[in-house]
Structure 1
Amino acid sequence: MPQGARRTLGQVGLVVVLAAVVAWFLSVAAERHGFFDLEVYHGALTYWVHDGGEIYDYLKPRSKYGFTYPPFAALVMLPMAYLSWHVAILVSVTLSVLASAVVIWWLLDPVAVRAGWTRWFTLAVALCLAAAFEPMRETVNFGQVNMLLLFLVAVDLLWLAPRGSRWLGVGIGLATAIKLTPGIFLVYLLVTGRWRAAATATAVAGGATLLAAALFPDASREYWTQAFWNTDRVGELAFISNQSLQGVVARLDPGHPSTLLWLLLVAGTVLVWARRSRAAVAAGDEPTGFALTGVVMCLVSPVTWVHHLVWLIPALILLVDNAMAAPAGGRRRRGLLAFAAVAYLVLISRLVWHWERGFDGVDGFVFSNFYVWISLALLLALPIRRPAPTPTPDSTASPTADSVAVDPADVPQLGKGERGASTGQRHRIGRLLAVR
């Protein structure tokens, strides 16, 4: 048998074994949520469309949970009212898997190319690992929309932004109209000086919201005047699944969480994020800006359930990316791979849930908030891919996939002046430097 065929056969065998191990792990470790959130969506839409009720009046039987998304989300999900329950499950799982595969491919394929890994094998291994990732399995088991929103934002920042597309901002606008938290990416466009893209995102989000208001005036009125302000519909802030800064503060004093402390923590976190995201875009490293913004969204949102932490996936992949770009066997590569491995293993372990019934004491503070500490570490330590130094005339080193010689005259805005660079210049610089 030719060597290439033996290699392919071995890779297929490894993927099959890994998939079997992950399937076993899910059977013993994954919580069964019975597509709880999907049942809320399906029930609310059915009640609205077929029973003549108001969508925001619906509560899932024997619970206090109802439809919490803006009216445009109800418009997007409207076809669900005409699907049977089992077909709705099939559609939800299929869309989440496809969206996950595309986003992971966009982030991981450049790593595979540079490292010389077989591309299909890399994606297959990554998808198996993603299936074991607690936020991902929670997203699927709840029937949540997280990966679809992540996909919409990724279309903008991983597909359109590197091409300098005039449509940059459409995906962010749609995601924000469906669920408000991705609106942080609109702020990201402003912070990094993409005024036209920010205007596009604002116009799309506003237009989608107005469209829903025109089609469903009663539902829109109820949402924006009542349901939006009713925080009881979301859940307890101190609940262990709330792995945001607000969750940390609430668990310090569940009865009287300090709003001032939370605001101070949010302000400091946003300042760090703004500085680092600007630096990433100035260096032409859009994927890192995208990843940092996903991380900060999880930190500053008042409620970040564990399933929302799928927004950490880009940062974890980029840790591996930066590790593989570092010299083989070096301390940097080992450190980044260890960081990625520890973060991943903790985020498949359900560690925080061991403190669900009590989070007092030092151990309770440390371990009940452990996913928050991982998010903060990613925000502070995720590397920004810097432009490679221009080789000296007597240099004999040949350029690598991560190091491309660039005429300094072609990159006039690097350094202090990068803040004034136009969008087109930043994208051109990124392509010249072959950052990705």
Structure 2
Amino acid sequence: MAQGAGRTITQAVAVVALAAAVTVFLSVAAVRHGFFDLQVYYGALTYWARDGGEIYDFLRSGTQYGFTYPPFAALVMLPMAYLPWSAAIVVSVTLTVLASAVVIWRLLDPVARRSGWTRWFALAVALCLAAAYEPMRETVNFGQVNMLLLFLVAVDLLWLLPARSRWAGVGIGLATAIKLTPGIFIVYLLVTGRWRAALTTVGTAAVATLVAAGLFPDASREFWTEALWNTDRVGELAFVSNQSLRGVVARLDPQHPSTIAWLLLVLVTLVVWGWRSRAAVAAGDEATGLALTGAVMCLVSPVTWVHHLVWLLPGLILLVDNGMAAPARSRRRRLLLAAALIGYALLCSRIVWSWEKDFTGVDGFLGSNTYVWISLALLLGLPIRRWLTPTGGARPGGDVPAGSASGGVPQLAEQDRGASAGQRHRIGGLLTVR
């Protein structure tokens, strides 16, 4: 017991030290945005609900920025209009932290159990590291909704879909009704042949949109006919914060970005994503399907601000998962953990901002698009894991057993076929390899 208590004290001290180091890092590296986007939401909702104006007519003073989300998002956020500004900040930060903790825990817990890590310690370390992650700190500092949307999608893909719940698809549908970009997960369900979940998703998004239209017909009409198509409301495509393929093309020629080149890049990217996503689902690896689709969403969206790259978090965590599941001291383990570390470090570094004012030349092309290259690397290189039966074969149809010990995050199979018998053990009826 004394040994266990000593270990707990050591881990607690380590967490406090890490939290202090992250705090110092944030005090130096983090940019204060003053909850800019939350101010836009708050101002638009107040103007709409309390001052009698139209929500899509509102622009934040001195800017071209207004409310850009569908009317259902306005309905969900409507209570904010009746809160004091300080309370709105507290709610925004609290919901983001809670959503982040749940998603990270779901992906990290199987890794912690397989590796023998104390589970509270693993989560505490992960949350500290997440706080330093630029897209996460930008999400918090802007008052954005990214992690809430990722949480809704993750509920479907990591909880409900593996359990074959009739509710699978509701989370993606709600996320799509709040913000259109998660709609790519509807395509993911269709491409991978989950028709029932796809129909549930479409039905949920449609019902949510129709409810908002019934309650707010004028706002709905303005959004779908005017505000949605007004690209000036979202910012400059060539701005270095736009880490999408569209941003890459725009920075090559800011005055006349080639739409054809962008569409060709998007087409190729979607083909690769569809192929890899089908392989992931066939192997029963829903977590990698989530990570691949999050990465491709960032790539093909016309605008992917740095804070949107919280969608890369599952991919980085799964790189660690794959690395820790590979044989100790193996080349594969070193490569995967190094890839996770380099990707994470770059996504903490604000490196793209070094080319904010001048992204010309080879160094500008490579450096200003650093986060795009990371998204592409995850799309192309993230390993696909395989559920194994006791006989060593893949589970037919990629079905993931509900309530399994891995919690929907499968174990590696192919790279560990040469592991010795002494390294193998059973967890929850699945043959896994350390």
Normalising by structure 2, we get a TM-score of 0.92
SS at match of 1:279: helix
Q: 1:36 to 1:432 in 2, by over 3 A?
A: closer
SS at match of 1:64: coil
Aligned to 2:203: 203
Q: Is the contact made by 1:164 and 1:427 (CA closer than 8 Å) also made in structure 2?
A: no
Q: Report the Cα distance in structure 1 between the residues aligned to 2:101 and 2:402, rounded to whole angstroms.
A: 28
Aligned to 1:345: 345
Aligned to 2:378: 378
Q: Which runs of 5+ in 1 are unaligned?
A: 389-403, 414-420
Supply the AA of the counterpart residue of 1:377.
A
Give the drift of 1:430: 11
Supply the AA of the counterpart residue of 1:379.
L
Q: Is the contact made by 2:162 and 2:402 (CA closer than 8 Å) also made in structure 1?
A: no
Aligned to 1:146: 146
Aligned to 2:179: 179
Q: Report the Cα distance in structure 2 between the residues aligned to 1:228 and 1:36, rounded to whole angstroms.
A: 21
Q: Report the Cα distance in structure 1 between the residues aligned to 2:317 and 2:271, rounded to whole angstroms.
A: 24
Give the drift of 1:428: 4.4
* 1:74-127 Cα deviation digits (max 9, x unpaired): 000000000010000000000000000000000000000000000000000000
SS at match of 1:427: coil
Aligned to 1:426: 399
Q: Report the Cα distance in structure 1 between the residues aligned to 2:402 and 2:212, rounded to whole angstroms.
A: 40
Aligned to 2:355: 355
Give the drift of 1:164: 1.1
Q: Which runs of 5+ in 2 are unaligned?
A: 412-434
Q: Report the Cα distance in structure 2 between the residues aligned to 1:432 and 1:123, rounded to whole angstroms.
A: 18
Aligned to 2:130: 130
* 1:62 pairs with 2:62: yes
Q: Is the contact made by 1:244 and 1:303 (CA closer than 8 Å) also made in structure 2?
A: yes
Supply the AA of the counterpart residue of 2:310.
V
Q: Which moved more, 1:120-129 or 1:378-387?
A: 378-387
Supply the AA of the counterpart residue of 2:372.
V
Q: Is the contact made by 1:284 and 1:430 (CA closer than 8 Å) also made in structure 2?
A: no
**How large is the Cα RMSD of the aligned pairs?**
1.6
Q: Report the Cα distance in structure 2 between the residues aligned to 1:101 and 1:159, rounded to whole angstroms.
A: 15
Q: Is the contact made by 2:163 and 2:402 (CA closer than 8 Å) also made in structure 1?
A: no
Aligned to 1:435: 410
Q: Report the Cα distance in structure 1 between the residues aligned to 2:399 and 2:310, rounded to whole angstroms.
A: 28
Aligned to 2:159: 159
Give the drift of 1:162: 1.4
Q: 1:258 to 1:50 in 2, by over 3 A?
A: same
Supply the AA of the counterpart residue of 1:427.
V
Give the drift of 1:426: 2.2
Aligned to 2:288: 288
Q: Is the contact made by 1:298 and 1:308 (CA closer than 8 Å) also made in structure 2?
A: yes
Aligned to 2:321: 321
* 1:372-419 Cα deviation digits (max 9, x unpaired): 00100010000001345xxxxxxxxxxxxxxx51476x94x4xxxxxx
Give the drift of 1:234: 0.6
Supply the AA of the counterpart residue of 2:151.
F
Aligned to 1:405: 390
Q: Report the Cα distance in structure 2 between the residues aligned to 1:34 and 1:130, rounded to whole angstroms.
A: 20
Q: Is the contact made by 2:135 and 2:347 (CA closer than 8 Å) also made in structure 1?
A: yes
Q: Report the Cα distance in structure 2 between the residues aligned to 1:80 and 1:435, rounded to whole angstroms.
A: 40
* 1:275 pairs with 2:248: no
% identical equivalent positions? 74
Supply the AA of the counterpart residue of 1:187.
V
Q: Report the Cα distance in structure 1 between the residues aligned to 2:327 and 2:387, rounded to whole angstroms.
A: 16
Q: Is the contact made by 1:406 and 1:432 (CA closer than 8 Å) also made in structure 2?
A: no
Aligned to 2:364: 364
Aligned to 1:79: 79
Q: Report the Cα distance in structure 2 between the residues aligned to 1:249 and 1:334, rounded to whole angstroms.
A: 34
Give the drift of 1:279: 0.3
Normalising by structure 1, we get a TM-score of 0.92
Q: Report the Cα distance in structure 1 between the residues aligned to 2:22 and 2:405, rounded to whole angstroms.
A: 40
* 1:37 pairs with 2:37: yes
Supply the AA of the counterpart residue of 2:410.
V
Q: Report the Cα distance in structure 1 between the residues aligned to 2:141 and 2:157, rounded to whole angstroms.
A: 28
Q: Report the Cα distance in structure 2 between the residues aligned to 1:290 and 1:70, rounded to whole angstroms.
A: 24
Q: Report the Cα distance in structure 2 between the residues aligned to 1:224 and 1:162, rounded to whole angstroms.
A: 34
Aligned residues: 409
Give the drift of 1:177: 0.1
